Amino acid sequence: MGEFYIGIDSGTQGTKVLIIDNEAKAIAVETYASHGLIEDNNGKKEQEPAWWISAIKTALSDALQKSKISPKEVKAIGVSGQQHGFVPLDKSGNVIRPAKLWCDTATETEANALVERLGGEERVIALIGNSIAVGFTASKVAWLKEHEPQSYARLDKILLPHDYINFWLTGEKKAEYGDASGTAFFDVRTRTWSESILNTIDNSGKLRSCLPELVSSEALIGKVRPELCKEFGFGSDTLVSSGGGDNMMAAIGTGNVSPGIVTASLGTSGTIYCFSEKPVIDPNGELAAFCSSDGHWLPLVCTMNVTVSTELTRNFLDLDINKLNQNVKKAPVGSDGLILLPYFNGERTPALPAARATLFGINSTNYTQANVCRSAMEGATFGLRYGLDIMKQNGIQPSEVRLVGGGSKSKVWRQIASEIFNCPVVCPNTHEAGALGAALQALWCHSHYSGENSNLKDITEQFVSLDESTRAEPDSENAKKYDEIYDKYLALNDALTCLY
Residues annotated as catalytic (active site), given as ranges? 246
What does the CA dihedral 433, 445, 172, 62 come to, rounded to 10 degrees? 50
Phi-psi region of 224 (alpha: psi -120 to 50; beta: other; left: phi over 0): beta
Q: What value, to the nearest 5°, has the Cα angle with vertex 351 and ends 349 and 354?
A: 120
What does the CA dihedral 167, 55, 63, 27 come to, rounded to 10 degrees? -70
Neighbouring residues of 187: CB distance < 8 A, sequence distance ≥ 6: 127, 128, 129, 193, 194
Residue 157: closest CA among 195, 221, 211: 211
Q: How far apart are CA 456 and CA 7, in angstroms?
A: 15
- CB-CB contact of 432 with 253 (8 Å): yes
DSSP H helices, 86-134, are 108-118, 121-128
Q: How far apart are CA 229 and CA 387, in angstroms?
A: 43
Neighbouring residues of 201: CB distance < 8 A, sequence distance ≥ 6: 114, 138, 141, 142, 145, 185, 207
Half-sphere exposure of 102 (CA within 13 A, CB side): 27
Q: How far apart are CA 274 and CA 137, in angstroms?
A: 22
CA of 294: how far to CAs of 17, 76, 189, 394, in Å? 21, 17, 15, 21
Instruction: Characterize 451-461 residue by residue with b for buried, 16 or more Cβ atoms within 10 angstroms of its Cβ, and e for exposed.
Output: eeebebeebbe
Q: How far apart are CA 207 and CA 141, in angstroms?
A: 9
Q: How far apart are CA 438 and CA 324, in angstroms?
A: 33
